[in-house]
Amino acid sequence: MDWSGGYVSDINYISGFYREIAPGYLSFVARLRGEPAPDPARPFRYAELGCGQGLGTNLLAAANPHAEFVGIDFLPGQIANARDQAAAAGLGNVTFHEASFAEAADWPAAALEPFDYITLHGIYAWVSPANRQAIVRFIERWLKPGGLVYVSYNAMPGWAGVLPFQRLLREHAARHPGRSDEQVQSGLAFLQRLREAGLAYFDRHPAAPAKLDGLGDIAREATYLAHEYLNSAAQPLYFTDVVADLAPAKLDYVGSADLVENYDVLSLPEAARAALEEVADPHYRELLRDYAVNRVFRRDIFIKGSRRGTTAQQDAALLETSLAPLLTRSEMTPVFHTNLGELTGQARIYEPLMDRLARGTTTLGALREATGIELAALIQACTVLVATGQAHPAQPVADAGPARRLAKLLAARILDDEPHGHLPAPAIGSGVAASDTEIVALSALLDGVPPRARRLAEAVWARFRPVGRRMLRDGEVLESERENLRELQQRAGAILRERLPVWQGLGLLDAGDDRRSG
Ligand SMILES: C[S@@+](CC[C@H](N)C(=O)[O-])C[C@H]1O[C@@H](n2cnc3c(N)ncnc32)[C@H](O)[C@@H]1O
């Protein structure tokens, strides 16, 4: 298609949410890196470029009713879906534009007010150089001084061995006309046969067979795979090239949204740390870190105008930051995984931290007072707890209504849509992971179903049964009503014990509900 610049435009992309695009998360990372970031508790403006189906922008709009959101994407079907979802949930603070990056970059000055945050996930390495320039122009024109940008991309050198793999898929597609998702499926099947035939490429570049082995259910993921591999301009990027691209928009690199990546000690092998010690240039060093771990994907945060304060100012900003628990105490763990394998945080630090955090939202300052842990260790442990999804930067809840309405809409649509995987969470201004059953259970609780396992199981079943949704146990579909209800009752018990207190803390449900699970 002429208007798509070589981008796959015959099928809509999957609906997804990625926590790194949340304003509170981005500001937290910026603060950890010493930058005075926008305060997500105050009114702000936010744009998502390439917002796809709009689920991410809508979740954020629902969870941040005090802020204004704009989503831009050039696929009309996606923008129609995004608008429909926003309207059905009654979200008044989000606008979607069907526009290409080039069009949006050239809008008249009065078309938009400047933004505190501009994010683009899964965009920058998938579009042409001209489109990348349009994105930079958009940022240059519409990011406020002090504003943050999040950009993710396929990275070099990790992609080096996969490039010929991607090339073959595109060559195959060019010779097999059809819908993109069908082209990618037949292309991957052909590549599999080539691998079995012993083509040397697959032997000499282990990343290629690893890709094939890691593909999972190709038919189910064909939409994602088509957008990942068939875009004619898609190209993995070197970190230093991205820094140079963004310089005209006056952007300075802040750090990685993959939080542990910002700590050499947590992410680089000891020998690599030693080898990199003599490298002073921070951008060159960051590039070398990508070589050290053969990085395939980057999630970068930039700021328009770095202004790192004194250490005292940086510490003060962090100590005021609040964290909310995303898990109950029994689910929390000091064990986490990085490039270095499995690591375990020191019990003397993590145990008291997790004990206090599990009791509810608290500031880092209060955590320090309650635990007496020295500041640097406290900050590193809190970083790990956020990185591992056990806690999240928190903000006051002004109005939980929009988030609850969107949650109920997602529950209603889950039954005929692809899974959404997340709920809006106003106390963190972001989305939290949730299974279909959990989303429908929350909706039932919002409808006033009493928090008893049996009643909740019956309510979820009443929503699942008419649309043919069945529970699974050990991968097997449960057919009879009795089995489904028994399974659901177990799940409902766990939801009431583990999710309900977290949802209350996140503003999704009112506190003080009866938690009996009988
Ligand atoms: C891989 S998808 C990512 C969608 C979403 N950000 C996510 O992570 O789920 C890339 C998105 O960029 C959009 N896109 C690609 N090229 C574009 C262009 N030149 N102008 C506007 N949108 C574009 C596509 O329509 C698609 O929705």
126 CB within 6 A, ligand 1? yes
Residue closest via CA to ligand 1's atom 14 equals: 50
Average pLDDT value for residue range 276-295: 96
Alpha carbon 108 to chain centroid distance?
31
Structural domain tally of the chain? 4
234 CB within 6 A, ligand 1? no
User: Ligand 1 pocket check: which of 4, 51, 73 to mutate, most ligand atoms within 8 Å of Cβ?
Assistant: 73
Domain boundary among 256, 279, 304: 304
Ligand 1 centroid to residue 135 C-alpha, Å: 12
Residue with tokens 């793999």: 165
Q: d(Cα 123, Cα 52) in Å, to the nearest integer?
A: 10
Whether residue 219 is found in the same domain as residue 276: no
50 CB within 6 A, ligand 1? yes
Residue closest via CA to ligand 1's atom 11 equals: 50
Do the Cβ atoms of 243 and 283 come closer than 8 Å? Answer: yes
Closest ligand 1 atom to Cα of 15: 9
Residue with tokens 């890691």: 214
Q: d(Cα 186, Cα 176) in Å, to the nearest integer?
A: 9
302 CB within 6 A, ligand 1? no
Average pLDDT value for residue range 72-86: 96
Whether residue 439 is found in the same domain as residue 462: yes
74 CB within 6 A, ligand 1? yes
Ligand 1 centroid to residue 52 C-alpha, Å: 5
Q: Using the predicted structure, report yes or no on whether residue 184 has a pLDDT greater than 70.
A: yes
13 CB within 6 A, ligand 1? yes
Quote the pTM value: 0.95
Domain boundary among 230, 265, 287: 230
Whether residue 23 is found in the same domain as residue 139: yes
Whether residue 175 is found in the same domain as residue 103: no
Ligand 1 centroid to residue 307 C-alpha, Å: 31
Whether residue 167 is found in the same domain as residue 58: no
Q: Determine, yes or no, domain membership for 7.
A: no
- What confidence tens digit (pLDDT) does each residue in 26-63 have? 999 999 999 999 999 999 999 999 999 999 999 999 99
User: Ligand 1 pocket check: which of 3, 74, 230 to mutate, most ligand atoms within 8 Å of Cβ?
Assistant: 74
Whether residue 104 is found in the same domain as residue 246: yes
Q: Using the predicted structure, report yes or no on whether residue 172 has a pLDDT greater than 80.
A: yes
Q: Using the predicted structure, report yes or no on whether residue 398 has a pLDDT greater than 90.
A: no
What pLDDT does residue 201 have? 94
Closest ligand 1 atom to Cα of 52: 27
Helix (H, G, I), strand (E, B) or coil at 237: strand
Ligand 1 centroid to residue 112 C-alpha, Å: 20
Ligand 1 centroid to residue 53 C-alpha, Å: 9
Whether residue 107 is found in the same domain as residue 198: no
Whether residue 63 is found in the same domain as residue 89: yes
Q: d(Cα 348, Cα 382) in Å, to the nearest integer?
A: 14
Q: d(Cα 212, Cα 297) in Å, to the nearest integer?
A: 18
Q: Using the predicted structure, report yes or no on whether residue 215 has a pLDDT greater than 70.
A: yes
Q: Hey, what amino acid is at 9? A: S
Do the Cβ atoms of 48 and 71 come closer than 8 Å? Answer: yes
Q: d(Cα 506, Cα 516) in Å, to the nearest integer?
A: 20
Q: Determine, yes or no, domain membership for 133.
A: yes
Whether residue 127 is found in the same domain as residue 244: yes
Q: Hey, what amino acid is at 459? A: A
Ligand 1 centroid to residue 166 C-alpha, Å: 19
Q: Using the predicted structure, report yes or no on whether residue 417 has a pLDDT greater than 70.
A: no
Q: Hey, what amino acid is at 458? A: E
Helix (H, G, I), strand (E, B) or coil at 115: strand
Among 374, 491, 482, CA closest to 442:
491
Structural domain boundaries enclosing 450: 400-506
Q: Determine, yes or no, domain membership for 312.
A: no
Q: Determine, yes or no, domain membership for 270.
A: yes
Q: Determine, yes or no, domain membership for 448.
A: yes
What pLDDT does residue 518 have? 38
Average pLDDT value for residue range 101-120: 97
Percentage of residues in the chain having pLDDT higher than 90: 85
What pLDDT does residue 1 have? 54
Q: Determine, yes or no, domain membership for 138.
A: yes
Q: d(Cα 502, Cα 509) in Å, to the nearest integer?
A: 9
Domain boundary among 393, 422, 445: 393
Output the average pLDDT for the chain.
94
Whether residue 118 is found in the same domain as residue 51: yes
Whether residue 32 is found in the same domain as residue 141: yes
What pLDDT does residue 228 have? 84
52 CB within 6 A, ligand 1? yes
Q: Sign of the C-alpha dihedral, residues 325, 328, 329, 334?
A: negative
Whether residue 117 is found in the same domain as residue 240: yes
